[in-house]
Amino acid sequence: MTLTVVATITARPEFRDELASLLVAQIPPTRAEPGCINYDLYADLNDPCVFVFYENWTCPEALLEHMAVPYLTPFLSQVDRLLATPIEVRQLRMLKDTVST
């Protein structure tokens, strides 16, 4: 089952640029992971402190493996300092994959 993830990350204003750099640095190695279908980062047009990852993974196990990669450590070790709110993560499945035809 393909897994879609939408993660919303809100920076403290004074750390916005630092957080953006850490998030952008994750993109190339994550896209190269075997289970990654896409891994895209967006910035909110109305609030420059809000970032959204839109991700698709081949299976839930691929996401679990992603969460254990060492290049996430620089970001994950600083979330308390950099973020204004906890990361909001939604895991989704496409309904057409669950509907019988």
Residue 71: DSSP 8-state? G
pLDDT for 45 beyond 60: yes
How would residue 60 be classed by pLDDT, with cut points 50, 70 and 90? Answer: very high
How would residue 101 be classed by pLDDT, with cut points 50, 70 and 90? Answer: very low
Model-level pTM? 0.90
d(CA 19, CA 74): 10
Residue of 62, 72, 65, 67 lying closest to 89 (CA atoms): 67
Other residues' Cβ atoms within 10 Å of the Cβ of residue 3: 19
Mean pLDDT of the chain: 94
Q: Which domain holds residue 83?
A: 3-97
pLDDT for 98 beyond 80: no
Q: Cβ contacts of residue 18 below 8 Å, gap of 6+? A: 82
CA 32 to chain CA centroid, nearest Å: 15
**Length of the chain counted residue by residue:** 101
Mean pLDDT of the 62-74 span: 94
Mean pLDDT of the 60-67 span: 96
CATH code where residue 15 lies: 3.30.70.100
Structure tokens at 64: 């679990």
Q: Into how many domains does the chain fold? A: 1
| Cβ–Cβ under 8 Å, residues 65 and 32 | no
